[in-house]
Amino acid sequence: GEDVEQSLFLSVREGDSSVINCTYTDSSSTYLYWYKQEPGAGLQLLTYIFSNMDMKQDQRLTVLLNKKDKHLSLRIADTQTGDSAIYFCAESMGSARQLTFGSGTQLTVLP
């Protein structure tokens, strides 16, 4: 099974909040990341959180971390059509500290 799991699809109305959820398995992960990928493009780092934090806010983005449940969420306030993309959660693990990604959540913003 995957080390990082995400729901595959989310649709919201423009102006509403979006919440994208992620669960991970490696309790030794020290940093967790959110990336955004638009069609045909590479990954854009949105934000990251250190494992000793519960919450991090950056403009319209809020990351919540529940370390006990190994659950991470990304909330996007006032979602816009330009936010439509695939969002990946990732944990940093292993000696190489390579990123292990979920399968991504396709966010569709409806007008």
Partner 1 sequence: DTGVSQNPRHKITKRGQNVTFRCDPISEHNRLYWYRQTLGQGPEFLTYFQNEAQLEKSRLLSDRFSAERPKGSFSTLEIQRTEQGDSAMYLCASSLVTLAGGKNIQYFGAGTRLSVL
Q: Is 13 in the site for partner 1 (CB under 8 A)?
A: no
Determine which helix (DSSP H) or strand (DSSP E) holds 90, and give its type and residue range. strand 85-93
Position 98 contacts partner 1 (CB under 8 A): yes
Torsional sign, CA 79, 84, 86, 90: negative
Q: What are residue 4's DSSP bridge partners?
A: 24
CA angle, 20 as apex, 83 and 77 as ends, to 5°?
50
Q: Does 107 bind partner 1 (CB under 8 A)?
A: no
Give, as ranges, the residues between 35 and 94 that touch partner 1 (CB under 8 A): 35, 40-45, 48, 50, 88, 90, 92, 94
Binding site for partner 1 (CB under 8 A): 4, 30-31, 33, 35, 40-45, 48, 50, 88, 90, 92, 94-104
